[in-house]
Amino acid sequence: MSVAFKSAVDDGVVEELRAIVGDDDRVLPNLSSRVNRTRVPAPFPVHRWAEYMPDVAILPRTAEEVSEVVKLANRLRIPVVPRAGGTGLSDGAVPLRGGIVVDVKLMNEIHEVDLADRTVTVGPGINMLKLNEELKRHGVFYPDDPASYPCSLVGGRIGTGGWSLLGARFGHTRDNVVSMEVVLPTGEIVEIGDGGGRKLRKSSTAFNLKQLFTGHQGTLGICTEATLELAPRPEVEFAAFFAFEDYMSAWETTGVLTKAGLATLAGVVLFDEWKIRYLRRDDEAYIPQPDSVRAVVAVAMYGSRAEVEPASRVVMKLGRSRGGRYLGDEISSGDWASRHDRYATPLHGRSKEGQAVIMSWHCEDAALNYSALPQVREEWHAIVARYRERYGIFDDWGMFAYTNGAHKPWADYLVEIDVGIWEERLDDENWGGWVNCKREISEVTLRHGGSITACHGATRAGDAELVPDEMGGAWQVVKSIKRALDPNNVMNPGKQSLDEAYEEGLA
């Protein structure tokens, strides 16, 4: 084993961890287990792999085991990083300071299905596809549906505060988690919900802690059980794709569709010209379209036949009202279906100015208001063009804007720019260039009143240092909460600029 890959925890710690779980197979100090839990799918500075490795991984089965691990970490001041599916796109589960990775994959049981009060209680290691397979026979489903649907896990969805393709109709992760059990950074086990019992959707008692414990990226504790919403399985699904010759007509149509008041609207997606160009060039699943197609608007509706059928006629009319051309049933239903199953496709682009170069995918996501989209689009593409020119290892794979408001499709958008990165060429200089590029993209977002991230997290260099700017006066509150809950900074340290909470002089 090379010195760089040496573990910083000694045999005594490994023995203590084994005593906690009483099972040698669930404590993994070996190199390959640690290497496997170092990275996520986002482009990674592979030349610095050893710097991000955990010292040991553990696979607990119960909240009590997690609690004992966290208490041990506090006693010895060892970092703890929760990890679920490891599909996060901003390094949330990547250990920045080594330590213990708590991999929740084995906590994957369905504890209770309550059809009367419409909840399902699960461990954080279960996947949504698997869960919904089990729920199907009851005529219900858990409607958290990201593009990583088959591979991300409930714990990671809670950790990131995930965004769902169906959010405009059914809400996002934070809306569909009714309550949860959490191991706090000091090891106590608490129940977090809206107040009252674990199955209440609304209360006004004390503070709304559920939101605080959603999207913290494992910096405030580890979710060990979650009680989730059960929605009726939709009777029908309808998707329609419209092509446009220019972006502005597509953007206007997006606004018209989302403001039409159609309750079954589950999501609208706006593809821009760079995205269409990338799909034409690089995606085998792309159904060929004439060169005049320069933007696409996709609409999806879910619900009962009685609601969706008449609403679909409205969609067909509005989709064409600004020059949109219906792209046909094959692309509409086929491409929409693949959106839930596209987890592997975007990871590999293969061209750089006509050369055969394998590039990996970085998805920079932000939350922005509708009115800001055209201007932000111009500025983001200009930034990527500059860096592409200067470094020769980046490519612009285009932008999507997805409806972002829960149950309210009309105002906010999750906006992503996808950047291909020639990972093999990453060295300190090129990685530094990439971090600067990310920072510039996020600065544009903030200037236009947006948020650095809609769901992936500001947990990567280039974004993390802008968190205090985005939070403004509330940053002091954030730091106070972090320090109060995690006095020793053991929970996923180094993320989201939260180390600032431990600097001298914080009131």
Ligand X SMILES: Cc1cc2nc3c(=O)[nH]c(=O)nc-3n(C[C@H](O)[C@H](O)[C@H](O)COP(=O)(O)OP(=O)(O)OC[C@H]3O[C@@H](n4cnc5c(N)ncnc54)[C@H](O)[C@@H]3O)c2cc1C
Q: Is 493 in the site for ligand X (CB under 6 A)?
A: no
- Residue choice 43, 123, 143, 162 for contact with ligand X (CB under 6 A): 162
Contacts to ligand X from residues 437-456, by CB under 6 A: 455-456
Cα angle 270, 276, 280 (rounded to 5 degrees) comes to 150
Q: Output 83 or 388, the one with its CB closest to ligand X.
A: 83
Contact map string, positions 68 to 107, toward ligand X, x by CB under 6 A: -------------xxxxxxxxx--xx----------x---
Shortest Å, Cβ 314 to ligand X: 26
CB neighbours of 265 closer than 8 A, spacing ≥ 6? 168, 169, 257, 258, 299, 300, 301, 311, 403, 409
Nearest approach in angstroms of CB 111 to ligand X is 15
Q: Which is nearer to ligand X, 150 or 468 (CB)?
A: 150
From candidates 152, 254, 258, 445, binder to ligand X by CB under 6 A: 152
Q: Output the smallest distance, CB 162 to ligand X, in A.
A: 3
CB of 139 to ligand X, least distance (A): 25
Contacts of 10 (CB under 8 A, 6+ apart): none
Sheet holding 325-326, edge to edge: 325-326, 236-244, 295-303, 265-271, 394-403, 412-421, 355-369, 348-352
CA 186 – CA 77 distance, rounded (Å) = 11
- Helix residue ranges per DSSP H, 220-320: 247-258, 273-282, 305-320
CB count within 10 Å of CB 141 equals: 22
Please, what is the minimum distance in Å from the beta carbon of residue 316 to ligand X? 26
| Contact with ligand X (CB under 6 A) among 96, 140, 153, 311 | 153
Taking CB under 6 A as the binding criterion, the range among 25-33, 152-160, 194-202, 376-384 that sits at the site for ligand X is 152-160
Q: Is 148 in the site for ligand X (CB under 6 A)?
A: yes
- Binding to ligand X by residue 420, rule CB under 6 A? no
Could you say whether residue 143 binds ligand X (CB under 6 A)? no
How far from 364 is each of 32, 283, 347, 440, 452, CA to CA, in Å? 29, 20, 14, 11, 9
Return the range that interacts with ligand X (CB under 6 A); candidates 15-23, 144-152, 264-272, 405-413. Answer: 144-152
40 binds ligand X (CB under 6 A): yes
Kindly state the smallest distance separating residue 486's Cβ from ligand X, in Å: 13
Q: Is 494 a residue that touches ligand X (CB under 6 A)?
A: no
Count of residues that interact with ligand X, criterion CB under 6 A: 37
State which residue, 60 or 324, has the beta carbon closest to ligand X.
Answer: 60
From residue 324 to residue 363, the character string flagging contacts with ligand X as x (rule: CB under 6 A) and all else as - is -------------------x--x-----------------
What separation in angstroms does the CA of 30 have from each of 19, 21, 24, 65, 82? 17, 17, 12, 20, 18
The nearest distance, CB 254 to ligand X, in angstroms, is 18
- For ligand X, the closer of residues 294 and 339 by Cβ is 339
* Residue number, 92 or 450, with CB nearest to ligand X: 92
Q: Which is nearer to ligand X, 223 or 437 (CB)?
A: 223
Alpha carbon distance 288, 278 (integer Å): 12
**CA end-to-end span of the chain, whole Å?**
45
Tokens read off for 295: 């933007």
29 or 60: CB nearest ligand X: 60
The residue whose two tokens read 């953007």 is 251
Binding status of residue 54 toward ligand X by CB under 6 A: no
Please state the closest distance from residue 272 (CB atom) to ligand X, in A.
18
Beta-bridged to residue 50, according to DSSP, are none
Q: How many CB atoms lie within 10 A of CB 135?
A: 21
CA dihedral 414, 218, 459, 490 (to 10 degrees): 160
Q: Residue 147, interface with ligand X (CB under 6 A)?
A: yes
Residues 187 to 246: which contact ligand X by CB under 6 A?
217-218, 222-223
Distance CA 317, CA 322 (A): 10
> Please, which residue, 107 or 257, has the CB nearer to ligand X?
107
Secondary structure of residue 268 in the 3-state scheme? strand
Return the number of the residue (88 or 187) whose C-beta is nearest ligand X: 88
CA-based max dimension of the chain = 69
Amino acid at residue number 354: G
Exactly one of 123, 143, 146, 234 binds ligand X (CB under 6 A); which one? 146
Question: Looking only at residues 456 through 475 of this chain, which bind ligand X when binding is defined by CB under 6 A?
Answer: 456
309: CB partners within 8 A, 6+ apart = 236, 238
Closer residue to ligand X (CB): 49 or 343: 343
SS3 410: coil
Q: Which residues bind ligand X (CB under 6 A)?
A: 40-41, 81-89, 92-93, 104, 124, 146-148, 152-153, 155-160, 162-163, 217-218, 222-223, 343, 346, 455-456, 492
